[in-house]
């Protein structure tokens, strides 16, 4: 029997009983549980096979709730919250002691955001606690952007996927921390750097693990298909190199046909980066199911959401 359902009342009941529910957001599906339930939070880590040192994002219903869980909100964090919430920006702020150490991997900061999805906002309003929710995929695998992706990963290991359709943005939130009151990007994501700079001015990006132990989730290899995947700026050359293998191609807008390609996905014929981002993970899920020898992925233009997409493709091919 499918665990996919639109029954909000059932989702509320399960969450109130320390169970997990996969929830839709505008970025990717999350594997959600009550932040104050040790049972639920432990189950999140176990179900994902995620190491305990990698902290979880806390999803809250409104800006007012922030003061319940964080000590201070720097001026620029306020500006970002007002500009982008509900939406795909996560702020890392000094936590209050009410936030369990299990959520933050023992750190004194907590990552928090208001997701922009009508069903999940409605759900959060009906609960008396925020939801901890990492992306609903096993550790290091491709994030889910459809209810079916979550079901395929976890089958009956979880009781319910709350169906909210395909995720609109399609890549995870942009994570921003603060050092001496100044914002720093720890993870590129669905809110482009340019949009953030329009609100708070020039911002540093520190998203490599070596320089950002602040965001322990930024592993070099991540978001990865099982099939060997390479990233290139020259697809013609890569196809020639691997022509004896069964090739899958992931391209931005190239619609040429080549007999050497067994399976091909075009992310956006009209070269629209938002469309490409929304289709990226579903494309990787599909390619990974074709029994290919290799996936050749084309690098996208390196601005706007293209930067975030390239970041994910690089981690998928490490």
**Cβ atoms < 10 Å from Cβ of 214:** 15
Q: Taking the complex as a whole, how short is the minimal distance between the CB of residue 83 and Mg ion, in angstroms?
A: 24
Tell me the site size for ligand TXA, rule CB under 6 A: 30
Q: Taking the complex as a whole, how short is the minimal distance between the CB of residue 233 and ligand TXA, in angstroms?
A: 27
Q: Is 229 in the site for Mg ion (CB under 5 A)?
A: no
Q: Is 135 in the site for Mg ion (CB under 5 A)?
A: yes
Residue closest to 48 by CA, chosen among 269, 217, 297: 217
Choosing from 116, 135, 191, 310, the residue that interacts with ligand TXA (CB under 6 A) is 135
Q: Is 124 in the site for ligand TXA (CB under 6 A)?
A: no
Q: Taking the complex as a whole, how short is the minimal distance between the CB of residue 135 and Mg ion, in angstroms?
A: 3
Choosing from 86, 130, 134, 225, the residue that interacts with ligand TXA (CB under 6 A) is 134
Query: Taking CB within 5 to 8 Å according to partner kind, which of Mg ion, ligand TXA, none is near residue 115?
Result: ligand TXA
Query: Taking CB within 5 to 8 Å according to partner kind, which of ligand TXA, Mg ion, none is near residue 109?
Result: ligand TXA
- Map residue 204 onto helix, strand or coil: strand
Choosing from 3, 15, 69, 215, the residue that interacts with ligand TXA (CB under 6 A) is 215
Q: Is 191 in the site for ligand TXA (CB under 6 A)?
A: no
Q: H or E element: which one contains 96?
A: none
Query: Taking CB within 5 to 8 Å according to partner kind, which of Mg ion, ligand TXA, none is near residue 247?
Result: none
Q: Taking the complex as a whole, how short is the minimal distance between the CB of residue 108 and ligand TXA, in angstroms?
A: 8
**Distance separating alpha carbons of residues 168 and 173, to the nearest angstrom:** 12
Q: What is the DSSP letter of 299?
A: P
HEC-encoded secondary structure of 174-190: EEEEEECCEEEEEECCC
Candidates 8-16, 132-140, 147-155, 310-318; binding stretch for ligand TXA (CB under 6 A): 132-140
Choosing from 27, 34, 47, 207, the residue that interacts with ligand TXA (CB under 6 A) is 27
H helices within the chain, ranges in order?
A: 8-16, 38-48, 66-69, 75-84, 101-104, 118-126, 147-154, 193-200, 235-241, 273-288, 305-317
Residue closest to 35 by CA, chosen among 71, 68, 9: 68
Cα torsion angle, 212, 213, 216, 218, sign: positive
Residue closer to Mg ion by CB (options 136, 247) is 136
Q: Is 56 in the site for ligand TXA (CB under 6 A)?
A: yes
Give me the torsion for CA of 49, 50, 51, 56, rounded to 10°: -150
**Cβ atoms < 10 Å from Cβ of 154:** 21
**Straight-line distance from the first to the last Cα atom of the chain, in angstroms, rounded to the nearest whole number:** 36
Q: Taking the complex as a whole, how short is the minimal distance between the CB of residue 127 and Mg ion, in angstroms?
A: 22
Per CB under 6 A, residues contacting ligand TXA are 25, 27-28, 30, 54-57, 88, 90, 92, 104, 107, 109-111, 115, 133-135, 172-173, 175, 186-187, 214-218
């Amino acid at each position: 029997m499918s665990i996919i359902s639109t029954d909000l009342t059932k989702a509320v009941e399960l969450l109130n009983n320390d169970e997990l529910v996969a929830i839709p957001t505008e970025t990717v599906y999350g594997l959600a549980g009550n932040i104050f339930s040790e049972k639920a939070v432990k189950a999140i880590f176990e179900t994902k096979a995620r190491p305990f040192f990698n902290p979880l994002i806390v999803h809250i219903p409104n800006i007012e709730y922030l003061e319940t869980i964080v000590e201070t909100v720097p001026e620029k964090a306020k500006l970002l919250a007002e500009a982008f919430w509900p939406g795909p920006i996560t702020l890392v702020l000094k936590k209050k002691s009410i936030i369990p150490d299990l959520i933050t991997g023992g750190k004194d900061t907590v990552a928090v955001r208001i997701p922009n999805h009508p069903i999940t906002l409605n759900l959060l309003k009906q609960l008396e606690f925020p939801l901890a929710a990492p992306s609903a995929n096993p550790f290091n695998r491709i994030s889910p952007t459809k209810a079916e992706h979550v079901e395929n990963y976890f089958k009956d290991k979880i009781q319910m996927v709350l169906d909210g359709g395909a995720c609109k943005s399609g890549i995870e939130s942009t994570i921003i921390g603060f050092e001496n009151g100044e914002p720093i990007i720890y993870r590129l994501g669905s809110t482009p750097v340019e949009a953030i700079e329009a609100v708070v001015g020039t911002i540093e990006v520190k998203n490599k693990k070596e320089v950002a132990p602040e965001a322990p989730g930024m592993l070099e290899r991540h978001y990865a298909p099982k099939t060997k995947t390479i990233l290139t700026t020259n697809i013609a050359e890569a196809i020639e190199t691997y022509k004896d293998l069964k090739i899958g191609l992931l391209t931005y807008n190239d619609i040429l046909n080549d007999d050497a390609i067994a399976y091909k996905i075009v992310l956006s014929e009209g070269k629209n980066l938002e469309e490409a981002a929304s289709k990226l993970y579903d494309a990787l899920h599909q390619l990974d199911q074709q029994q290919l020898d290799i996936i050749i992925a084309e690098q996208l233009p390196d601005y706007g959401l293209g930067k975030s997409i390239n970041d994910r493709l690089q981690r998928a091919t490490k």
